[in-house]
């Protein structure tokens, strides 16, 4: 039986157009259909797809056009090739409220959680991100400045090894006050890699850069919530980096903060029970590798298919200790996740010495319902991975 919120159009030869309810169109929510696809409805200018007043059904689009309509149209589309790249949609990938917080799984949630966070800012908004290039985020930041919000942004000085002159110009054009990361987080194999926002008691922490790929191609996780302790800790870290000072001990009681994050993640890996890990990198951090290897068959490790030769060699060493290792082709695994049945970590930290001991990185350990959901998603991703 088809849910009342979704109706199927007359054909599905090349794509599955679905008429979306006003609530989904207005709030841009991902709706899970009975056909194992994600229908993505969000605000449209009316120039793409079918407007709410039109009754005709659009012609079956080609995959590339379908992907574009998913991003920009009033109607949701997917094609077999697009669905295969995203992976099967499940109810757990839809945004889910966890008390006063929300957990979002990308690429299914899209850019909406970030845009909504920026739009909700009323007086102040602090953003620390490795990269900010998505034009919709830039537009939302500009709109926030125009309505009187004081916006401050810290970005890495040399993301991916280059100086982002064009990106910096566009970011400053929004009216936000922009600083590069402190010098101690700028150098060879050391950088500001944090990804968070804070406005009042409202916080966002995740694994995603603010780029197009993060919200359309990558596996990413975002936590958004109202928690005074987390917001205070993030503001302390931001203000310290803004003024080139050290953040001190207090934020570490709430956040997983680098430099110095190895201990918190080792304790999470050593917790009783099964553990599932997703990481873009697998560097040679000895305490992390020792804790992971000690789990043996109780650990599942998922890495991106495009892993370099050095990290693959380390992965083989870990696998020789009994750890189950697989590689995910699509979506691209940019996530940083350590999940067990009762606790889970998400954040910007990769499992490498630079990330854990030298960079500015920020993460969060989640409990109970959030942990169970992340663990379940990690297990589904792992099941889709290949052994080589």
Q: Return d(Cα 152, Cα 138) in angstroms, integer.
A: 13
Q: Are residues 290 and 204 in the same domain?
A: no
Query: Using one digit for the tens of pLDDT, what is the confidence trace for 91-103?
Result: 556 565 565 799 9
pLDDT at 92: 53
| One domain for residues 130 and 226 | yes
Would you say residue 67 lies in a domain? no
**Both 248 and 383 in a single domain?**
no
pTM (2 decimals)? 0.76
Q: Give exposure, 339-374, as e/b (b: 16+ Cβ within 10 Å).
A: bbbebbbbbbbbbbbbbbebbbbbbbbbeeebbbbb
Residue 371 lies in a domain: yes
Q: Is 16 part of any domain? A: no
The answer to whether residues 220 and 293 belong to one domain is: no
What pLDDT, on the 0 to 100 scale, is given for residue 100?
Answer: 76
Q: Are residues 226 and 347 in the same domain?
A: no
CATH, residue 191: 3.30.870.10
Q: Select from 208, 232, 253 the last residue of a domain.
A: 253
- CA dist., res. 67 & res. 64, Å (int): 5
Q: Are residues 282 and 238 part of one domain? A: no
284 and 243 in a single domain? The answer is no
Residue 13 lies inside a defined structural domain of this protein: no
Kindly state whether residues 271 and 249 are assigned to the same domain.
Answer: no
Say whether both 324 and 365 belong to one domain. Answer: yes
At 54 the pLDDT is 34
Residue 78 domain flag: no
Which residue, 226, 253, 280, sits at the end of a domain? 253
Sort 380 into a burial class: Cβ within 10 Å, 0-12 / 13-18 / 19+. Answer: middle
pLDDT for position 388: 80
Q: How far apart are CA 6 and CA 32, in angstroms?
A: 9
In this prediction, the residues of the chain whose per-residue pLDDT falls under 70 are 1-99, 160-165
pLDDT at 35: 28
Q: In the prediction, which pLDDT does 86 show? A: 45
Domain count, the chain: 2
Instruction: Give me the pLDDT at residue 18, please.
Output: 39
A 10 A CB-CB count for 99 gives 11
Do 229 and 304 lie in one domain? The reply is: no
Residue written as tokens 């899209």? 110
- Give the model's pLDDT for residue 206: 98
Q: What pLDDT score was predicted for residue 99?
A: 59
Residues 224 and 267 in one domain: no
| Structural domain range at position 300 | 258-387
Same-domain pairing of 238 and 373 = no
């Amino acid at each position: 039986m088809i849910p009342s919120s979704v109706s199927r159009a007359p054909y599905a030869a090349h794509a599955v157009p679905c008429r979306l309810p006003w609530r989904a169109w207005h709030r841009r929510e991902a709706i899970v259909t009975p056909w194992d696809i994600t229908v993505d409805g969000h605000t449209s200018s009316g120039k793409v797809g079918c407007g709410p007043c039109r009754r005709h059904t659009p012609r079956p689009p080609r995959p590339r056009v379908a992907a574009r309509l998913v991003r920009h149209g009033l109607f949701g589309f997917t094609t077999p090739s697009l669905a295969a790249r995203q992976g099967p949609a499940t109810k757990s990938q839809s945004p889910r409220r966890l008390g006063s917080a929300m957990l979002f799984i990308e690429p299914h949630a899209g850019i909406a959680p970030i845009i909504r966070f920026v739009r909700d800012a009323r007086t102040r908004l602090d953003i620390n991100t490795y990269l900010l290039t998505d034009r919709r985020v830039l537009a939302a930041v500009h709109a926030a400045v125009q309505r009187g919000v004081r916006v401050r942004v810290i970005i890495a000085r040399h993301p991916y090894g280059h100086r982002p002159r064009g990106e910096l110009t566009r970011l400053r054009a929004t009216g936000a006050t922009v600083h590069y990361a402190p010098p101690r987080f700028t150098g060879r194999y050391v950088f500001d890699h944090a990804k968070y926002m804070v406005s009042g008691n409202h916080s966002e922490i995740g694994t995603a850069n603010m780029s197009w790929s993060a919200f359309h191609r990558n596996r990413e996780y975002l936590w958004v919530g109202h928690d005074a302790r987390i917001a205070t800790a993030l503001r302390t870290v931001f203000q310290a980096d803004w003024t080139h000072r050290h953040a001190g001990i207090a934020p570490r009681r709430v956040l997983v903060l680098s430099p110095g994050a190895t201990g918190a993640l080792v304790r999470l890996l050593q917790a009783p029970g099964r553990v599932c890990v997703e990481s873009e990198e697998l560097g040679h951090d000895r305490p992390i590798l020792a804790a992971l290897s000690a789990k043996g068959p109780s650990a599942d490790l998922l890495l991106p298919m495009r892993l370099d030769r050095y990290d693959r060699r380390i992965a083989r060493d870990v696998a020789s200790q009994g750890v189950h290792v697989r590689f995910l082709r699509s979506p691209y695994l940019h996530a940083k996740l350590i999940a067990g049945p009762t606790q889970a970590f998400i954040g910007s930290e990769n499992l490498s010495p630079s990330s854990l001991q030298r960079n500015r990185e920020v993460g969060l350990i989640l409990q109970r319902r959030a942990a169970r959901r992340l663990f379940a998603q990690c297990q589904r991703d792992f099941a889709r991975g290949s052994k080589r």
